[in-house]
Amino acid sequence: MSEARLNLAVQKSGRLAEGGMSLLKRAGLRFGYGRDALHRRAENMPLDLLLLRDDDIPSFVAGGACDYGIVGENVLYEAQARSERYGGLEVVLRLGFAGCTLKLAAPKDGSVRGVEDLEGRAVATSYPGLTRRYLEERGIIAEIVEMRGSVEVAPRLGIADAICDLVSTGATLEANGLAAFETVLESEAVLIRRRNGRNGPVAEVAATLIQRAEGVIASAQ
C-alpha cells in the first residue's frame, strides 16, 4: 500500500528537474506513469515522485506530504530564514549539480561598492530572508524590495540601488551593467528530509536510495 512507499519531491521542470531525474535514473530507478500529472511511480522500487514547483518543496517535506525532496540550498535556506516551520528540515546529501551563488551586485558605474554602502539604500531580491539576515549580521539597515523575477532590471528602473540574486555564468549581471561585490550563499542541489521522518520500511528504501545516489555522485567526480 501507499503507506510503505517513499514520497520524493522533485522539481516538475526547470534547472533542478533534469539533474534530479538523471541522478535517480543513474541510481537505477525506472519510472512509469503515476495516478495523475503530479505523480510518477518508480517501477523497481517502492518510491513515488511528486512533481512540484521548487519553491513548494520545503513546504511539502516539512508538512509530511513528502518524505524527501531535491531542492537548491538557496530555496531551503530562504525558507528557513523566513519561518520556523522549516527548522525541522535537514540536508542529507549534496548532489553536485545546479551550482550557483547568491550575490549582492550593483551598477558598475555607481556609488555602491561594498556592503557598507548599502546603509539606508534599497536592495531588490527574490531572497528577502537571506538578504535581510546577511545585512543585519553586518549591522546594515537597508530596505528590502521583494521581486519574483527580473531582479536584475531593478537598479536600471530606479526601484533599487543594488540587487541580491543568483549568479551562475555572470552573463545576466554583465548584460545589465551590474557587478557583484559580495557572496551571500554558495548553493547546489541537495537531498532534504524531515529530521523526525517516517521509520520502518520507508526509512529502509531511503537508505538504499541514499547509498546508490552516493555511489553515482562519487563515480561522477
Segment near ligand PRT (CB under 6 A); pick from 12-20, 82-90, 131-139, 211-219: 12-20
Tell me whether residue 82 or residue 198 sits nearer to ligand PRT (CB atom). Answer: 82
- Residue 104 interacting partner from Zn ion, ligand PRT, none (CB closer than 5 to 8 Å by kind): none
Q: Are 170 and 70 in contact (CB under 8 A)?
A: no
Site mask for Zn ion (CB under 5 A), range 47-76, x = bound: -------xx---------------------
Segment near ligand PRT (CB under 6 A); pick from 22-30, 68-76, 177-185, 206-214: 68-76
Residue 221: CB minimum distance to ligand PRT, A: 19
By CB under 6 A, the residues from 155 to 194 that bind ligand PRT are: 165-172, 187
Bridge partners (DSSP) listed for residue 123: 144, 162
Tell me whether residue 54 or residue 161 sits nearer to ligand PRT (CB atom). Answer: 54
Residue 78 makes contact with ligand PRT by CB under 6 A: no
Q: Closest by alpha carbon to 124, among 152, 91, 90? A: 152
Q: Strand 39-42 vs strand 162-167: parallel, antiparallel, or unpaired?
A: unpaired
Distance (Å, whole) CA 69 – CA 185: 20
- Residue 100 interacting partner from ligand PRT, Zn ion, none (CB closer than 5 to 8 Å by kind): ligand PRT
One-character DSSP codes across 86-126? GTTEEEEEE-S-S-EEEEEEEETTSS--SGGGGTT-EEEES
Q: Strand 68-72 vs strand 6-11: parallel, antiparallel, or unpaired?
A: parallel
Distance (Å, whole) CA 10 – CA 205: 17
Q: Which three cell numbers stand for residue 179?
A: 557587478
Residue 15 makes contact with ligand PRT by CB under 6 A: yes
> Which residues form the interface with ligand PRT (CB under 6 A)?
11, 14-16, 53-55, 72, 74-75, 98, 100, 165-172, 187
